[in-house]
Structure 1
């Protein structure tokens, strides 16, 4: 069952949707990309796949409606990776204090710029985060945080997304944790091709199930 929640953050309150399937083995926090929100159809599709696999999910807005309105004009906040990582940290704190979820291992699923924010946040919370998956992500935006990521990380990129493939390969070279690159043949940045998003969801489900179920 999906529940609407409010997540306190420094100087903001973030809207979220929390789903807890029976007997959940872990929880995945979704970190949306620039210009998106918790209502992202692609992320919600992946979330349903994770729920079916026994994983709880939290989709939440990284920006408030007021901040989003400003960002639509300036496009500055969507690339403020430190701010986005801080907001993800606030959502992580919410999970750790939520009675239904606080005993579950935590994973991050980041898309586009959210992939960079997820890696920065994971580097800052090595004991709290058990796995990271990046979909068409920008791990290069994590910069100096990359060598400090401890969580097993799966980087998923479309085979036709050449520039992002290069960015992900360069980021991999800086990471010291378990990291794997999966390229979906023929897929572009948004994975709109038939079967592409299903492949992403399946890979993410397997990765999170493997790493969040293990104790």
Structure 2
């Protein structure tokens, strides 16, 4: 029951802008049991923050992350499939050792227990999502195409899966595989965005949270794609609504 949100822009976005939308996604969705975010530094290196609290209850984040600006962010808002898995190490996104890839999952991998033993020495937590993350890394190490690797992760582990691969010096990759929580791409002024849909089968995401969104497109189910700039208005992030 998690929510995913990622953005990219040609100009720096202050982290407070991200907090604004992350809090709304948590409020209107089912999350609130942990959250995390990743962002790219000027040199492309990925940094990460995670917490066991929801973003609205995280009193440390505003001060800890104050002053951060970036052109690209990834946010994961958590509502675990198994409530007993609430723990800091189960908060997402996951980040690889050289800080070149952050990975986030919304859904539930039905076959995670069958593959957990393969990664026993690598897993830090107990969630199904981390098994998916390790499977994805394995496919990349096998020189599989990054988008095909996302598709294979869902095909093999089954269940529901919206996935985001947030990569150093590379375009962000999206995969839509959760019919209960569709994923959309859209523009907010000069910012290119992707978001899950609050587990709502209507357009409430764009009524309540992103009313100024344009160029809205649903990512077809079981499809991977890149988060690239579509037809953007000649506006900066400052001119998009913060209702």
Greater strand content: 2
User: TM-score interval w.r.t. the shorter chain?
Assistant: 0.3 to 0.5
Report which of the two has the higher share of helix: 1
Pick the structure with greater CA Rg. 2
Q: TM-score when scaled to structure 1?
A: 0.33
Q: Give the TM-score taking structure 2 as reference length.
A: 0.31
